[in-house]
Structure 1
Amino acid sequence: MRKQTLSLGVGFFLLTSSAMANDYLANVEGLHLNYSAPSGKASSTHFKYKEYEFLGHTEYDVELQGGTLFLETPDGPIQLDNLPASLSEVDALTINDLDLVSSSTSLSLSTQHFATQSTDSAMDISRLAIQCSYEDRDDEFMNEILHSCFNRSGNLSLGGFSSDGKEVLTDTQFTIRNNSMNFQMRAQGLKIKGNGKTYYENDQLRIRIDKAKVGFLNVRGRLFKELEKLESNTVSVHEPWIEIDLQ
């Protein structure tokens, strides 16, 4: 199997935003989760989802079966269905200090550490933060979040991203406004700044990188050589495009 690290990162965003916020206001603070197939443990300092609310330190049992995450709470099980395949097939999953707030107009998510491991790949993300604003909450709420984040207004930052133990990116920031994207990052010790476009439509995220420079030096080709290492059956990299299948 080919590597799926980039799609796993997107899958994590889908899990926490869709499953925890879809059609409901949610507030989760200090969530820690350690899963090693077939089960794991989790805890939080504040957890509000649907009719469930737990204040103070609360512990949970976790199981992942057939694309469904089961969270056993003190008041009964919470079942999160239809997880992305890239997440439902992992052998190990670690989340440290996750905060999630979903309101009627925006969603913010942050975590100090997120890591996955499967038979053929491993991924590690540190200090991830995502903020998106949206206009509607309806039966297609997940679609609205993705449309808003990547077509209208979204901010993403991360401290580090590693694939199979190799550092790929650090100190990364993306700002998206009306499909226009500006970014900065460190890769191979170089501080890279650039811009491009992002488009989300029909369960596919398309990213076009128009410029990538270190000072006045054009490094777009060099950057894409690194990004090509992240290709998988759901991620396609062909300069200047990166395409991610989110089905």
Structure 2
Amino acid sequence: MKPLVLVLFLLSITVQSWSNQIDVKNLTLNYKDDNGQGSFDKFIFDKYSYFDQQDFNMLYSNQDMIFDINGEEIVIRDEKGVFKDFSRFNVSNFSVATSNSKIEGNLPYLSGSSTESDLEITNARIQCKTTVRPPLEQDLFFFLEDCLANSNSSIKRVRINNKNKSELISLLEDTLEIEAEKVTSIDNISMEIKNGNFNLTMSLDTGLRVTVKMSGTIKYFDNQKMIRLSITKAKAGIFNIREKIFEEIEKRESDKLQVERPNIFIYLE
């Protein structure tokens, strides 16, 4: 299980009747073995609007997430099949809101367990400036165009306990030439994007603290559902690791991940 699949799940959701607003406040979910229970303080999404606190039950069946809220059934299709790999999934007080000028999201705590790994995310936040008004029927990929142009995001901690080592952890260990299984968490992740130029900082817990900094450009191409990432600088402490990053990513090239230096292409579909 990788954090990216959670993003892809959200992006795969199709909004059938766009109201130009999403407003979800303090959504909590405890999920285990295809069943879940949760609550929220407010839920405005697609054609559904709840303005006060509600409890709900959830059933996962044939890639459908079926929510029962006071007898009303809401079905969200898991197009990527993300949830079928989860045996356990917990979300605490997740909030997200959109307007004509910005998107704001806050996730105090998320944990999950799958066949690949156990994942824990603490204090994740994002704010994006928005300029593009979506069409009446659209999936949520349109958010990427704005969020990868101008945004601020941060995560206090990502902790991954791998049953099968994740590609992200493996890439970091190989790039920094760290002994396998030494990276236990990624802390204080911060990414600022202004007009497509990004600065990324993260701290790795390897027994010793290693700070990684990267900068470059990033752009989303909607017609290809592709992100182009260009890394101009990359350091671990005082050491330049830019070439090493390219070398390790090139070893991992696939249909979804391709390298043409200085560009890295990530295909989301």
| 1:120-173 residue CA offsets vs partner (Å, 9 max, x unmatched) | 2332221111222222121336232111111x2122211112222563421011
> C-alpha distance in 2, partners of 1:162/1:9?
15
Match of 2:154 in 1: 157
Q: Structure 1 residues 127, 241: CA separation in 2 closer, same or farther (over 3 Å shift)? A: farther
Match of 1:67 in 2: 63
> C-alpha distance in 1, partners of 2:253/2:8?
14
After the TM superposition, which residues 169-180 of structure 1 pair with which residues of structure 2 at under 5 Å, given as runs?
169-180=186-197
Q: Give the counterpart of 2:229 among 207, 219, 233.
A: 207
Residue aligned with 2:18, SS: coil
Identical columns (%): 21
RMSD: 3.2
Q: Structure 1 residues 178, 85: CA separation in 2 closer, same or farther (over 3 Å shift)? A: farther
Residue aligned with 1:55, SS: coil
> Any conservation in 1 of the 2:9–2:79 contact (CA below 8 Å)?
no
| 1:187-207 residue CA offsets vs partner (Å, 9 max, x unmatched) | 241222220122222122333
> C-alpha distance in 2, partners of 1:107/1:168?
27
Match of 1:14 in 2: 11
Deviation at 1:46, TM superposition (A): 2.5
Q: Structure 1 residues 11, 91: CA separation in 2 closer, same or farther (over 3 Å shift)? A: farther
Match of 1:148 in 2: 146
> C-alpha distance in 2, partners of 1:68/1:215?
45
Q: Does 1:185 align with 2:181?
A: no
After the TM superposition, which residues 1-247 of structure 1 pair with which residues of structure 2 at under 5 Å, given as runs?
4-11=1-8, 13-14=10-11, 18=13, 23-24=18-19, 25-49=21-45, 50-56=47-53, 58-74=54-70, 76-134=72-130, 135-138=132-135, 139-140=137-138, 142-150=140-148, 152-164=149-161, 167-188=184-205, 189-201=209-221, 202-214=224-236, 216-220=238-242, 236=257, 243-247=265-269
> Any conservation in 1 of the 2:24–2:44 contact (CA below 8 Å)?
yes
| 1:45-81 residue CA offsets vs partner (Å, 9 max, x unmatched) | 233333421413x211011223321111115011112
Q: Structure 1 residues 140, 96: CA separation in 2 closer, same or farther (over 3 Å shift)? A: same
Residue aligned with 1:137, SS: coil
> C-alpha distance in 2, partners of 1:74/1:20?
22
Calculate the TM-score normalised by the size of structure 2: 0.74
Q: Structure 1 residues 54, 19: CA separation in 2 closer, same or farther (over 3 Å shift)? A: farther
> Any conservation in 2 of the 1:46–1:54 contact (CA below 8 Å)?
yes
> Any conservation in 1 of the 2:117–2:160 contact (CA below 8 Å)?
yes
Q: Higher relative CO (CA 8 A, sep ≥ 6), structure 1 or 2? A: 1
**Structure 1: gaps spanning 5 or more residues:** none
> Any conservation in 1 of the 2:11–2:141 contact (CA below 8 Å)?
no
Match of 2:168 in 1: none
> Any conservation in 2 of the 1:198–1:207 contact (CA below 8 Å)?
yes
**Structure 2: gaps spanning 5 or more residues:** 163-182
Q: Structure 1 residues 213, 233: CA separation in 2 closer, same or farther (over 3 Å shift)? A: closer
Residue aligned with 1:164, SS: strand
> C-alpha distance in 1, partners of 2:210/2:188?
11
Deviation at 1:227, TM superposition (A): 7.9
Deviation at 1:108, TM superposition (A): 1.2
- Number of aligned residue pairs: give it: 239
